[in-house]
Amino acid sequence: MKKALLLSVVASTMIMAGGDIVATEPAVEAVAVEASTWDFTGQGVLYTQTVDVSGNNDLFANETTYAGWGIQLGATASDLFAGIGAGVEVSGIVASTGDAGFYNGGGNTGTTSGGLTQAYLTYGMGATSIKVGRQQLPKSLSPFAYSEGWQIFKNTFDAALIVNSSVPNTTLVYAAVGNANGSVGAYLNEDAFSQINENGDIVHMVAVQNKSIDGLTLTGTYYFAPDFKTDGNDLSAVWGDAKYNAGSFNVAVQGGQIDPGDMEVTTAFGGKIGAKFGMFTAMAAYSSVDQDGVMGITNLATGVKSPLYTQMLLDNVSQYHAAPGSEFVKVGATAKVLGGTVKAFYGAGTNDIDQTKGNYTEFDLMYVTKISENVKFFAAYAYTDDDMYTTDTATGTRPSANNFIRFWARYNFN
């Protein structure tokens, strides 16, 4: 999916913990103004994934496997002089890749590359912080353009943003974004950064998040892309999310629309419930995207992941659950066992793509643990079955049923 609009937001800390198990999002807070020295961060990553292509190939064969290793080094200072802070990050990947053209293209393990992945200045004035430059953007306040955590390193954005917390229990955000890179391919290279709005205009976003009621988080975002692409039509998007967490029980609803100006509006909504029982958690989620729309409910800066609660580990190619005409259900559970956390999810739904109705199912089994204070390990198995995509690998289309495995290990230099 071509990079479309959006950007967004939030004063983010610099180094991330990416991966399929939910990564910690950057914090939203005013920039500190007291004098500081440079703080150095870094990580080394080993990453591999493989697919058997409906049993036509072997797992971990050269033609079905992506692998790579990467180094990421960063430094931040909250007050270099006169309250001005800074952050910088460089990343490099050495890739060994076969011909496995499925499942998110191997992420950014697909190409040996390196580049400047973050470089920004910050300034704080009481309850207001300003951040300008290349940075990560969090999903919590930017549901349509955020730094994804499933790949070897997170994708980043060129943006300017203002965060204000002067209203009690409320975070107000304005952001202006010009460039972004994707989350697949040679995304570390400088030429991977391009205008989100193809005609060169800045995309604007405002977000409001309120936590006045104990346990309840309300978030609303609005995006505006003037003269979207080169067709002279303005694009707008609005999205709302309400989450209530009572400790042992939680519930959430979400919904909104993307209006591309000269095409049909895409409207979607979803909901989820969850519960905690000692060392176990359980959840169930539902989402629906109306068939009349022309744009999917995905991260439009990457075209890969979705803000919908029904997002699975994979569910790629068409992002089945997020495409127009889809209805999807996801159920799952987690358990703190075997020295880490085991997660199991099952998703199923129907989808009308180009007026052709199909069915999709996926089962995900994941395990994450800290091997030591500095080393985090992740392993995942997924089985997918899609009766709409049955062509062979020569066409670049995913076969119908697949076994998929992903591993990564991250060493934190801190």
What are the tens digits of pLDDT across the range 253-305?
A: 999 999 987 778 899 999 999 999 999 999 999 999 988 878 889 887 888 88
Task: Read off the pLDDT of each residue in 106-129 and give the average, rounded to a whole number.
Answer: 86
pLDDT category of residue 127 using cuts at 50, 70 and 90: very high
pLDDT > 90: percent of the chain? 50
| 92 vs 74: CA distance, rounded Å | 12
In CATH terms, the superfamily for domain 39-412 is: Porin (2.40.160.10)
Amino acid 117: pLDDT:
93
- CA angle at 108 for the pair 105 and 113, rounded to the nearest 5°: 130
Q: What is the pTM of this model?
A: 0.85
| 261 vs 264: CA distance, rounded Å | 8
Amino acid 5: pLDDT:
39
Collapsed DSSP state (helix, strand, coil) of residue 265? coil
Amino acid 367: pLDDT:
98
Amino acid 6: pLDDT:
40
Q: Which has the closest alpha carbon to 313: 286, 342, 345, 288?
A: 345
**Is the predicted pLDDT of residue 4 greater than 70, yes or no?**
no
**Is the predicted pLDDT of residue 2 greater than 60, yes or no?**
no
- Could you read off the pLDDT of 370-386 as tens digits, one per residue? 999 999 999 999 998 88
Q: How many CB atoms lie within 10 A of CB 378?
A: 19
| 284 vs 223: CA distance, rounded Å | 29
Whole-number Cα distances in Å, 268 to 293, 323, 326, 348: 9, 10, 9, 17
List Cβ neighbours of 91 (8 Å cut-off, separation of 6 or more).
70, 71, 72, 73, 114, 115, 117, 153, 188
- Could you read off the pLDDT of 61-107 as tens digits, one per residue? 777 788 889 999 999 999 998 999 999 999 999 887 655 444 445 56
Amino acid 46: pLDDT:
94
More confident residue, 145 or 86: 86
Q: Which two tokens stand for residue 320?
A: 């089945």
- Could you read off the pLDDT of 164-201 as tens digits, one per residue? 999 999 999 999 988 888 777 667 888 778 877 777 78
List Cβ neighbours of 291 (8 Å cut-off, separation of 6 or more).
324, 325, 352
Amino acid 394: pLDDT:
44
For residues 137-167, one letter each, b for 16 or more C-beta atoms within 10 angstroms of the residue's C-beta and e for the rest, the string is: bbbbbbbbbbbbbbbbbbbbbbbbbbbbbee
Amino acid 53: pLDDT:
73
**256: which strand partners?**
239, 268
Amino acid 135: pLDDT:
95
Average pLDDT, the chain: 83
For residues 45-83, one letter each, b for 16 or more C-beta atoms within 10 angstroms of the residue's C-beta and e for the rest, the string is: bbbbbbbbbbeebeeeeeebbbbbbbbbbbbbbbbeeeb
Looking at mean pLDDT, say which of 256-260, 320-324, 394-398 comes out highest. 256-260
| 414 vs 283: CA distance, rounded Å | 34
Amino acid 193: pLDDT:
82
**Is the predicted pLDDT of residue 19 greater than 50, yes or no?**
no
Task: Read off the pLDDT of each residue in 324-344 and give the average, rounded to a whole number.
Answer: 95
**Is the predicted pLDDT of residue 395 greater than 60, yes or no?**
no
Task: Read off the pLDDT of each residue in 377-401 and give the average, rounded to a whole number.
Answer: 71
φ/ψ of residue 64, rounded to 5: -125, 15
pLDDT > 70: percent of the chain? 81
Amino acid 194: pLDDT:
80
pLDDT category of residue 398 using cuts at 50, 70 and 90: low
Q: Which has the closest alpha carbon to 157: 134, 182, 189, 128?
A: 134
Collapsed DSSP state (helix, strand, coil) of residue 305? coil
Looking at mean pLDDT, say which of 70-74, 143-147, 198-202, 226-230 comes out highest. 70-74
Q: Which has the closest alpha carbon to 147: 31, 28, 17?
A: 17
Q: Which has the closest alpha carbon to 11: 124, 108, 170, 96?
A: 124
pLDDT category of residue 17 using cuts at 50, 70 and 90: very low
Domain ranges of the chain: 39-412
Q: Which two tokens stand for residue 226?
A: 């003037």
Whole-number Cα distances in Å, 182 to 108, 196, 203, 303, 332: 9, 10, 17, 8, 29
Task: Read off the pLDDT of each residue in 109-135 and give the average, rounded to a whole number.
Answer: 91
